[in-house]
Structure 1
Amino acid sequence: MKISTQFDAGSIIVKDLSNPSNIRLAIRPDNASEFAQWFYFRLQGAAYTPCIMHFENAAQSAYPAGWEDYQAVASYDRQNWFRVPSRYENGVFTIEHTPLSNSIYYAYFEPYSEEQHLNLLGEAQGSGLCQIDDLGSTIQGRDINLLTIGNQAQSDLKIWVIARQHPGETMTEWFMEGFLSRLLDHQDPTARALLNQATFYVVPNMNPDGAFLGNLRTNAAGANLNREWQNPSLERSPEVHYVREKMHEIGVDMFLDIHGDEIIPYVFVAGTEGVPSYNQRIADLETQFKTAFQQASPDFQDEFGYEKDAPNQANMTMATAYVGHTFQCLAYTLEMPFKDNANLPDDDFGWNGQRSLRLGESILSAILAVCPNLR
């Protein structure tokens, strides 16, 4: 048997591989920080062999509660991913699975590779509706790309959507694939109506270094990008620095920051109740958006989520708080589950790339519903 991780986003520590019924593993922390939760590895030479894989340091991971009621994903071809029997007991996360082929991949969530990311950019540009600009480079020299979709008329609403500040939250780029696919569809009436009144500024992957390195939460310098928005620096967080600079140049009428949550098994949003500029206009916009989103997608709900910040208690280093307050606009963090959506569970696949993609498509209807009131 052999376990390997020398590929895009690969990550695991092998402690003992001598016994298939007691494979001892450890989750590797991010390259420059202590955050640990993401794993992605290839197991070879175990066809038809019952394998029991113990992740011995699961209790020391970033979100130990994330392992409860969670099932890992696996794939033979890296195209079709399915859930495999998993459990969390006494601080150890365990996968029990008998591979049907000699080569199989296991991951924390369905990956979204750098190659897929570049293909996504190419397809968007090929639509004829999208302009791609390079804002700058990451610490490791990868491109920070901004997609501009729309007429860029002075009167247009300026809607910003960013994803994958936390690189292990791969469902967010699947979401972006669906979002962009529908927005760039010439035949879609919702997309056409939106582009008649708004220009979209989209960053499908805020953290390409962290994504390639197999990090859960940080960039190559160990920065959690969603805590860098008040004072980003070129040395530590160029990704946020360049995007924030562009926002100040262009302006923002609506902002969405797309994320995944390790613990909560629902799709939900977190708003800007705690920022100093929060007012009744924003509260009404939030209500209108959530109502429209629930009508557009039964996967979205507003009962479960994070506790709302008390007035003036928001963490202003976070993207949604910073942007919402600075531009006094509707701003939301959207969270999708790593586990499953408990309202619409799927035993075979759980929450996955395709469901994230469909959610990305559906959110256009909610955005269209609030457009008349964004200014």
Structure 2
Amino acid sequence: MKRIVTSALLTLFAASSFACQSNKIQLLNDFPNATSDALMTNCVIDEQNKRITVKLLPENKPINNSPWYAFQLISEKPQEITLTLTVEDGTHRYHPKVSHDGESWQAVDYQVVDDKMNVKLNIGPKTTWIAGQELITNQDYVDWGNELSQFEFIDHKVIGKSVKGKPIYQIITNQPAVKQWLVVLGRQHPPEVTGAMALFPFVDTLLGNSELARYFRQQYNIVIVPNMNPDGVELGFWRHNANGVDLNRDWNKFKQPEVIAVDKLLTELVARGDKVAMAVDFHSTHKDIFYTMPNDYGVQQPYLVNNWLNKLDSQYPDFNVIQKPGNNPQMGVFKQYVADKFDVHAITYEMGDNTDRSFIDKLAKDAANTLMQTMLKNNEKLH
């Protein structure tokens, strides 16, 4: 993915926005996805002991324990420093990763002692980036959508605005004669980057030029809203939108503009005589898991998800595709909303925070192919 900000744009000790600085060291946060000033405190640079300390704050409380961080570090001279991160009313979730260009990332060693995460870093005049996960920005989604829209059967359009007025985009196949729809959603929660890493190859496979994908699109249109929470992504939030609300708890309240935009989109599809057939919502958590609706919940094609994920599981003898069925109409999650409003299956596709990135990519491609194969069959019974 292409990044907006590169180290070439940052001049040492220029008039950039910085979170804190000393005579010879700067910690900067003037880039997309960075930890904003409002989400950090007690930033201290101790040059003598070569230590930087920062306390991370949530956007509001209560909140899921997912402390995000992303900074840039510059030093007048090359040196090793220790970055110490603490969390207000939380514990560390994301393991640190370092980049020197904002694109290529490597995990780095760290220690947590007394709730303090200590990371040793070699910094110098060139920018060093450190973040809880790789950075996937709002612009990355726009660029990807623009690339896909070069195909004549794909449109890239704005369907609404976020709390702060940022555009919410859909990527949609424009085949009017096709009346059934597969829905794909992503990035309700800003730091859940491994979910995004799965969404990209999953969608690319659905929209690809394989014989299976071409035939599938003769039977199903596809609508993707890949970046539901652009405000939270931009501002480095832990979980919520700019109103301080977990979007994946608003699908029974419909008070947030991001949720309202998607509900309006799907409601209008059905109102014109089309049908939502299946939905997949990408997230991240501590392990790889697929949250599903029970096959006896009363949705159409009751064994669709079982058949899909069982088929996927059969392709991975050394990996367990965990299915966790459940329903809670009061919770306000997307998969429940789809099942209750459209009477069809939906799943929450969760990738582990630390799952191998190449495996995420491979699994997503296989998941897309097996889903297409399954949706092209009758799923009234187990296969």
For the pair 1:209 / 2:224, whether they are aligned, the reply is no
Quote the RMSD (CA, aligned, Å): 2.7
CA distance in 1, matches of 2:315, 2:330: 30
Matched to 1:42, the amino acid is: Q
Identify which range, 361-370 or 317-326, moves more after superposition. 361-370
Matches for 1:1-375 after TM superposition, within 5 Å: 1-11=25-35, 12-13=40-41, 15-19=43-47, 21-30=50-59, 37-45=67-75, 48-57=78-87, 60-61=89-90, 64=91, 67=93, 71-99=95-123, 102-149=126-173, 151-154=175-178, 156-186=179-209, 188-233=210-255, 237-250=256-269, 251-261=275-285, 264=286, 266-273=287-294, 278-279=297-298, 284-295=303-314, 301-303=320-322, 308-309=325-326, 313-339=328-354, 341=355, 351-352=356-357, 355-371=359-375, 372-373=377-378
Structure with the greater alpha carbon radius of gyration: 2
Q: Give per-residue Cα distances to partners, 1:81-124, cap 9 Å, x unaligned.
A: 01000222322222223347732101111110122111011001
TM-score relative to the length of structure 1: 0.82
Q: Compute the displacement of 1:48 (Å).
A: 4.5
Contact 1:46 1:102 (8 Å CA) reproduced: no
- Check 1:7–1:13 CA distance in 2 against 1; reply closer, same or farther (3 A cut): farther
Contact 2:335 2:345 in 1 (8 A): no
The structure, 1 or 2, with the larger RCO (C-alpha pairs under 8 Å, 6+ apart) is 1
Report the Cα offset of residue 222 of structure 1.
1.0
CA distance in 2, matches of 1:174, 1:294: 20
Aligned in 2, Cα 1:180/1:14: closer, same or farther, shift over 3 Å? farther
Tell me the alpha carbon deviations over residues 347-371 of structure 1, each in whole angstroms, 9 at most, x when there is no partner. Answer: xxxx34x554444323211211321
Quote the Cα distance in structure 2 between the aligned partners of 1:281 and 1:321. Answer: 14
Contact 2:206-2:369 at 8 Å conserved across structures: no
- Report the CA distance between 1:31 and its aligned residue: 6.8
Report the Cα distance in structure 1 between the residues aligned to 2:304 and 2:144, rounded to whole angstroms.
31
Conserved 8 A contact 1:267-1:300: no
- Over 3 Å counting, the alpha-carbon distance change for 1:324 and 1:80 in structure 2 is same
1:135–1:243: 8 Å Cα contact kept in structure 2?
Answer: yes
In the alignment of these two chains, the number of paired residues is: 344
Conserved 8 A contact 1:253-1:330: yes
Distance (Å, rounded) in 1 between the aligned partners of 2:175 and 2:215: 12
How much has 1:72 moved relative to structure 2? 1.0
Q: Secondary structure of 1:196's partner?
A: helix
Give the aligned residue type for 1:29.
P
Deviation at 1:76, TM superposition (A): 0.3
The letter of the residue matching 1:132 is H
What 5-or-longer segments of structure 1 have no aligned partner? 342-350
Q: Which moved more, 1:197-206 or 1:28-37?
A: 28-37
Letter in structure 2 aligned against 1:317: G
Gapped runs of 5+ residues in structure 2?
1-24, 270-274
**Partners of 1:150 and 1:367 in 2: CA distance:** 20
The answer as to whether partners of 2:75 and 2:124 remain within 8 angstroms in 1 is no
Report the equivalent of 1:347: none
Write the distance in 2 (CA, Å) between the matches of 1:298 and 1:137.
44
> How many percent identity over aligned positions?
22
Q: Distance in 1 between the 2:264 and 2:76 partners? A: 51
Secondary structure (helix, strand or coil) at the match of 1:105 reads strand
